[in-house]
């Protein structure tokens, strides 16, 4: 599919939605192709379920489960639960 530079400038969000649908578009300037827009295929990110402590915390014996430790310190001091 082809889109002009003016269409891209005036209707950017519509052009980008079209790129997502069709996969790629060619942008023309004065009738000549100058660029190609391609959709980014993003893989869904996986939640961070477990990680190891590194750096100055690597040797601490009180942090056996780093994920649980981070959840604990991020918990509000006074919670209603």
pLDDT tens-digit readout, 29-50: 999 999 999 998 766 666 655 5
Q: What is the DSSP letter of 4?
A: E
The pLDDT assigned to 9 comes to: 95
Domain assignment of residue 22, given as a range: 2-38
Does 22 have pLDDT greater than 80?
yes
The answer as to whether 17 is a domain residue is yes
Beta pairing, strands 24-29 & 32-38: antiparallel
Contact 33, 26 (CB under 8 A): yes
The answer as to whether 45 is a domain residue is no
Q: Based on the structure, what is the number of domains in the chain?
A: 1
Q: pTM higher than 0.85, yes or no?
A: no
Cα separations (Å) of 57 from 36, 45, 49, 53? 47, 26, 18, 6
The answer as to whether 76 is a domain residue is no
The answer as to whether 10 is a domain residue is yes
């Amino acid at each position: 599919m082809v889109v002009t530079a003016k269409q891209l400038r005036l209707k950017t969000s519509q052009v980008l939605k079209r790129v997502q649908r069709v996969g790629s578009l060619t942008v023309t300037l004065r009738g000549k192709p100058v660029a190609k827009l391609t959709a980014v295929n993003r893989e869904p990110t996986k939640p961070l379920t477990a990680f190891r402590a590194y750096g100055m915390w690597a040797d601490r014996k009180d942090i056996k489960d780093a994920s649980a430790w981070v959840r604990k310190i991020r918990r509000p001091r006074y919670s209603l639960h």
